[in-house]
């Protein structure tokens, strides 16, 4: 086909006798190149999932190990489900008519296996300062937790008293027995509320042991060392060793042991 024929053919497409002018047909353009496959996102997702699985496995293994320990369920229950110890802030607690009042944390209930953690958290929330008061009303409980709580009280320079508080903040009598007395011993000073009672008894281990006598002696030695550190006479340990039942100390007796350091009335 000649050049003229090509031009005639193009003119025929540009001016159609039966309709508007149309353009000459063109060859279809080549399809655009496919975009490169991006794998960065997939790799990122893979590593995110892998890290999550590792973390979840670590937490699961740790939880299994924790729960496989003796008394672990008791600790978890006391820590997260139903704490046996309660603590509430008293904005102004009054120990007597001349007392101007001070902030206090009222602690009551049984000293459970996670009591020290709860106690520390409540103290942090209450923001008690040196000289503020911890009011105790407890039948006792875990010996080790009580020692930790007493150490916390001493490290923060807090006072202690066996008692509760009414709606007006006036301190009322209560009892503090067994391991509670170790918490009370952490206070400086330790107030003696009229009508309140401090009770002691021999501490024994509840776990299985091959030599219960040696274990009892070990516990007694630990209690003696703790009480001596807190400035309490060793005679309190002698009073504890006399009976497995609660022995309620007379106010004069507790004062002579230096367990009570500041009686609020004449014993």
CATH architecture designation of domain 72-263 = Alpha-Beta Complex (3.90)
**Please, what is the average pLDDT of the chain?**
83
**What is the percentage of the chain residues whose pLDDT exceeds 70?**
68
Q: What pLDDT, on the 0 to 100 scale, is given for residue 62?
A: 59
Q: How confident is the model at residue 81 (pLDDT cuts 50, 70, 90)?
A: confident
- What number of CA atoms fall less than 13 Å from residue 64's CA on the CB side? 6
How far does the chain reach from its first CA to its final CA, in angstroms? 133
pLDDT (average), residues 216-230: 92
pLDDT (average), residues 177-196: 97
Q: What pLDDT, on the 0 to 100 scale, is given for residue 10?
A: 47
Residue 92 or 45, more confident = 92
pLDDT (average), residues 10-37: 54
Q: What pLDDT, on the 0 to 100 scale, is given for residue 28?
A: 55
- Give the alpha-carbon dihedral of 238, 239, 244, 247, to 10 degrees: 180
- pTM, rounded to two decimals: 0.73
Q: What pLDDT, on the 0 to 100 scale, is given for residue 64?
A: 52
- φ, ψ at 263 (rounded to 5°): -70, 140
Q: What pLDDT, on the 0 to 100 scale, is given for residue 266?
A: 65
Q: What pLDDT, on the 0 to 100 scale, is given for residue 40?
A: 56
**Per-residue pLDDT at 141 exceeds 70:** yes
**Per-residue pLDDT at 66 exceeds 60:** no
**Per-residue pLDDT at 229 exceeds 90:** yes
**Per-residue pLDDT at 61 exceeds 70:** no
**Per-residue pLDDT at 13 exceeds 50:** no
Contacts for 241 with CB less than 8 Å, ≥ 6 apart: 202, 220
Residue 184 or 66, more confident = 184
**Per-residue pLDDT at 91 exceeds 90:** yes
């Amino acid at each position: 086909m000649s050049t003229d024929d090509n031009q005639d053919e193009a003119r025929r497409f540009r001016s159609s006798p039966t309709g508007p002018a149309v353009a000459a047909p063109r060859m279809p353009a080549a399809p655009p190149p496919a975009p490169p496959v991006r794998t960065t996102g997939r790799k990122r997702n893979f590593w995110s999932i892998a890290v999550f699985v590792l973390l979840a496995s670590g937490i699961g293994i740790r939880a299994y190990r924790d729960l496989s320990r003796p008394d672990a369920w008791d600790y978890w229950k006391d820590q997260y489900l139903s704490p046996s110890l309660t603590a509430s802030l008293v904005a102004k607690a009054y120990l007597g008519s001349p007392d101007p009042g001070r902030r206090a944390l009222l602690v009551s209930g049984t000293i459970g296996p996670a009591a020290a953690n709860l106690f520390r958290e409540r103290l942090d929330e209450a923001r008690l300062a040196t000289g503020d008061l911890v009011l105790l009303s407890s039948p006792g409980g875990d010996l080790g937790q009580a020692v930790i709580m007493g150490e916390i009280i001493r490290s923060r320079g807090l006072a202690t008293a066996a008692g509760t508080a009414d709606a007006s903040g006036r301190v009322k009598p209560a009892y503090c027995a067994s391991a509670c007395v170790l918490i009370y011993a952490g206070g400086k000073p330790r107030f003696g509320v009229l009508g309140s009672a401090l009770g002691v008894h021999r501490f024994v281990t509840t776990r299985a042991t091959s030599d219960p006598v040696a274990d009892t002696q070990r516990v007694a030695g630990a209690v003696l060392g703790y009480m001596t550190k807190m400035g309490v006479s060793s005679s309190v340990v002698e009073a504890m060793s006399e009976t497995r039942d609660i022995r309620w100390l007379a106010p004069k007796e507790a004062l002579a042991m230096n367990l009570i350091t500041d009686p609020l009335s004449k014993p």
